[in-house]
Amino acid sequence: MIVNMHEGFSFCIEKKVPGALGRAGVLSTPHGKIETPAFVTVGTKGTVKALTPEQVKNTGAQVVLGNTYHMYLKPGEKLVEEMGGLGHMMHWDGPTMTDSGGFQVFSLGFAFGTSVSKVAKSSETTFEGAPLEHEREREGKLAQIDEDGVTFRSYKDGSEHRFTPEKSMEIQHALGADMTFAFDECTSPTAGYEYQQEAMERTHRWAERSVKRFTELQNTRGEKSPQALFGVVQGGRFEDLRKESAETLAGMDFDGFGIGGSFVKEDMDTAVGWVSKQLPENKPRHLLGIGEPIDMIVGAEQGADLFDCVAPTRIARTGMVYTEDGRINLWNAKYVSDLQPIEEGCGCYTCQHYPRAYLAHLFRSKEMLAATLASIHNVYFLVNLMKRVRSAILEGRFADFKEQFVERYKG
């Protein structure tokens, strides 16, 4: 079952989870294949924090996502284009994606005004760490939405900017990633039904305009590499809205779909399932901003193919690393003289070469290498977790794998 998307892209489903929506597939892009389910490594500003692209590749990572909002503000999409586009600029020769910019435009008042721990906490309870309603109101003046688009202020210098669906497409065209996303409005998980519906319907109108502008740009792209466009399903925590959103977008000319917005962790399996059932089976689905181990396993079971999250590198910089038993904090006093690797048997560069005691020393000495080595381990852990999920699906033992992992892992 192979579906050809835009020129240079195709998606092939290899095997499905019996009695569930999950599947293993291969997404082909002009810059290589992505075996799914897969964790997408985030390189917000055109670099995966603290890592060279070779270090990223050595974790087994297959694809990097850059943030449209950040690169638009700095260094600017035109300069990225002059440097050969996102992939060439950062010396990453594999597949790339850019998001729509929507999430940052709507959430920046929250996302950038809080400490790492608060953001990390929020990413555990809401999709993409989206703001709660009252926090949106408090910061309300940072972004003003109208039918045509959004006017917002830069989180860096307060300067005023405006994104429309057309502008998002133009920026993403200049950034030149393989896969791009339609411009969407990301709502709060606690927003009421009425607002969710209003925002969702606007997102659908923006989706149509995104497809139109994307198609124009592709038709006149000249020597540039072809791009694919994913639509973003919204609708909050409401089953009827999520279904309506998925159905509506399924009827448009998209190559794949993002599942976006925000709904609380407890709704993850139901909500992703509602959406997956409505979307065409043979197109890839990206669960936006989700990267917690168990969330990804649940999401994969419910039919999501791609996942991304800043958490692995962000928490790594604070000394927090994943293990099969859950996260551990390398600042803990007991690791100062611990000669074991972060995880016995882990295949990552860090665990192959360094004991916890050395990492504890690097963190306490404020050495940059601490962040690099912890980031390598965390990215490897999530990338490899999705490879294990994929193998389990291909070998028909997904349910066992999930049960064993969830039982041991303390999120």
Which of the residues 286 through 345 are near a second copy (CB under 8 A)? Answer: 336-337, 339
The strand pairing partners of 38, in sequence order, are 306
Q: Closest approach of Cβ 111 to a second copy, in Å?
A: 16
Whether omega for the bond prior to residue 131 falls within 30 degrees of 0, making it cis, is no
Is residue 116 a contact point for a second copy (CB under 8 A)? no
Binding segment for a second copy (CB under 8 A), chosen from 61-69, 209-217, 266-274, 355-363, is: 355-363
Is residue 368 a contact point for a second copy (CB under 8 A)? yes
For residue 246, give the nearest of 273, 272, 278, 268 by alpha carbon. 278
User: Is the CB of 287 or the CB of 373 nearer to a second copy?
Assistant: 373
Q: Closest approach of Cβ 72 to a second copy, in Å?
A: 13
Rounded distance between C-alpha atoms, residue 37 and residue 34, angstroms: 9
User: Phi and psi at residue 84, in whole multiples of 5°?
Assistant: 95, 10
Of positions 3, 14, 31, 47, contacts a second copy by CB under 8 A: 47
Alpha helices in 176-253 (DSSP H): 193-219, 239-250
Is residue 371 a contact point for a second copy (CB under 8 A)? yes
Amino acid identity, residue 285? Answer: R
Count of residues engaged in binding a second copy, rule: CB under 8 A: 35
Is residue 151 a contact point for a second copy (CB under 8 A)? no
Rounded distance between C-alpha atoms, residue 359 and residue 369, angstroms: 9
H/E stretch holding 316 reads helix 311-317
Is residue 31 a contact point for a second copy (CB under 8 A)? no
Radius of gyration of the chain (CA): 20
Q: Closest approach of Cβ 204 to a second copy, in Å?
A: 34
In the shown chain, the binding pattern of residues 241 to 280 toward a second copy, with x for contact by CB under 8 A and - for none, equals ----------------------------------------
Residues 6+ apart with CB under 8 A from 402: 297, 301, 392
Rounded distance between C-alpha atoms, residue 272 and residue 111, angstroms: 24
Of positions 51, 97, 200, 268, contacts a second copy by CB under 8 A: 51
User: Is the CB of 13 or the CB of 359 nearer to a second copy?
Assistant: 359
User: Is the CB of 89 or the CB of 288 nearer to a second copy?
Assistant: 89
Residues 6+ apart with CB under 8 A from 292: 123, 124, 309, 311, 411
Q: Closest approach of Cβ 61 to a second copy, in Å?
A: 15
Rounded distance between C-alpha atoms, residue 80 and residue 73, angstroms: 11
DSSP state of 126: S
Rounded distance between C-alpha atoms, residue 363 and residue 192, angstroms: 44
User: Is the CB of 15 or the CB of 45 nearer to a second copy?
Assistant: 45
Is residue 369 a contact point for a second copy (CB under 8 A)? yes
Q: Closest approach of Cβ 365 to a second copy, in Å?
A: 5
Is residue 93 a contact point for a second copy (CB under 8 A)? no
Q: Are 108 and 152 in contact (CB under 8 A)?
A: yes
Which member of 99, 184, 255, 267 is catalytic? 99
Q: Which residue has the tokens 């995966």?
A: 48
User: Is the CB of 45 or the CB of 153 nearer to a second copy?
Assistant: 45
Q: Closest approach of Cβ 296 to a second copy, in Å?
A: 26
Rounded distance between C-alpha atoms, residue 385 and residue 381, angstroms: 6
Q: Closest approach of Cβ 132 to a second copy, in Å?
A: 28
Rounded distance between C-alpha atoms, residue 288 and residue 291, angstroms: 9
Of positions 27, 40, 50, 241, contacts a second copy by CB under 8 A: 50
Q: Closest approach of Cβ 364 to a second copy, in Å?
A: 7
The strand pairing partners of 64, in sequence order, are 41, 96
Catalytic residue status for 99: yes
Is residue 82 a contact point for a second copy (CB under 8 A)? yes
Binding segment for a second copy (CB under 8 A), chosen from 26-34, 295-303, 365-373, 379-387, is: 365-373
Catalytic residue status for 184: no
Rounded distance between C-alpha atoms, residue 1 and residue 133, angstroms: 43
Is residue 113 a contact point for a second copy (CB under 8 A)? no
**C-alpha dist (Å) from residue 370 to 42, 348, 356, 358, 377:** 19, 15, 11, 9, 11
- 3-class SS at 161? strand
User: Is the CB of 52 or the CB of 270 nearer to a second copy?
Assistant: 52
Is residue 367 a contact point for a second copy (CB under 8 A)? yes
**Which of the residues are catalytic?**
99, 308
Which residues form the interface with a second copy (CB under 8 A)? 45-47, 49-52, 55, 74-75, 79, 82-83, 89-91, 336-337, 339, 353-355, 357-358, 360-362, 364-365, 367-369, 371-373
